């Protein structure tokens, strides 16, 4: 494929991403109001008080972080298989949005911990693995930001992303592995939420899931527009 054809293809794909992201953004805007109302009207926990309402933000952020890093691994695997730079751009977008969600998770977690356990941080197994996961994907972003552009860096990043994603199941199941030695509660299961808490929790997962999709599509779109611009300048 010629440089001109690559630029046109990248712009065309960016246009398709725009067509999906725009209505998604409007839906996200409308549902955010519903989400805010659901959290505000949710019952106050009798033990933790108002601080418990971080439940409707913190776990959905964790799921977004997991999803972003899974997308990075999938994009990397598809790039290794096909050599298409568009899959590499998908991996970059997934890592960046996943890192954002992971950072917000790392911020909301200590706030909840301070209000519930009386301390901002402890070397709880899940906290420790989450911090390690955050550093791994921060290193991925630094590699993509400062590494020499080209297939060699893309291949290395793809393998790195595939290895890094293995921490996700460990992060999720580490509570079961360590049992009572951690201060984190057990993973949420069906029926584990109190009365009136299921609806706002569902709303949080839906809205933050849509937020992840919107940011991911926009970031992927940006990578394609940047590729088209770079190709046009050659």
Whole-angstrom Cα Rg for the chain: 20
In terms of phi and psi (left: phi > 0; alpha: psi -120 to 50; beta: otherwise), the region of 149 is beta
Residues of the chain with pLDDT under 50: 191, 233-234
Q: How far apart are the first and last CA of the chain?
A: 14
Q: Supply the pLDDT for residue 234.
A: 43
Q: What CATH number corresponds to the domain at position 24?
A: 1.20.120
- Number of folded domains that form the chain: 1
Beta bridge partners of 218: none
Per-residue confidence (pLDDT) for residue 51, from 0 to 100? 86
Tell me which residue range forms the domain holding 57. Answer: 3-233
Contact 78, 87 (CB under 8 A): yes
Which residues on neighbouring strands pair with residue 49, listed in sequence order? 45
The contacts of residue 97 (CB under 8 Å, 6+ apart) are 64, 68, 212, 215, 216, 219
Count Cβ atoms below 10 Å from residue 223 Cβ, excluding itself: 23
């Amino acid at each position: 494929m010629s440089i001109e054809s690559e630029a046109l293809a990248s712009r065309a794909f960016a246009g398709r991403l725009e067509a999906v992201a725009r209505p998604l953004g409007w839906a996200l805007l409308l549902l955010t109001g519903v989400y805010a109302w659901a959290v505000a009207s949710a019952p106050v926990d009798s033990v933790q008080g108002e601080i418990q309402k971080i439940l409707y933000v913190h776990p959905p952020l964790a799921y977004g972080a997991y999803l972003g890093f899974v997308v990075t691994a999938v994009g990397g695997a598809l790039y290794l298989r096909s050599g298409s730079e568009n899959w590499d751009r998908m991996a970059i977008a997934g890592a960046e949005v996943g890192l954002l969600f992971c950072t917000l998770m790392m911020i909301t977690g200590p706030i909840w911990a301070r209000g519930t356990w009386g301390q901002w941080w402890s070397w709880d197994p899940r906290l420790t693995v989450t911090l390690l996961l955050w550093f791994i994907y921060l290193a991925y972003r630094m590699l993509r930001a400062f590494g020499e552009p080209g297939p060699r860096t893309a291949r290395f990043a793809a393998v790195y992303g595939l290895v890094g994603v293995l921490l996700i199941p460990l992060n999720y199941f580490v509570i079961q592995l360590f049992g009572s030695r951690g201060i984190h509660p057990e993973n949420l299961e069906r029926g584990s939420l109190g009365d009136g808490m299921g609806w706002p929790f569902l709303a949080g997962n839906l809205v933050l899931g849509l937020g992840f999709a919107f940011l991911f599509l926009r970031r992927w779109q940006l990578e394609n527009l940047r590729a088209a611009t770079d190709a046009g300048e050659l």
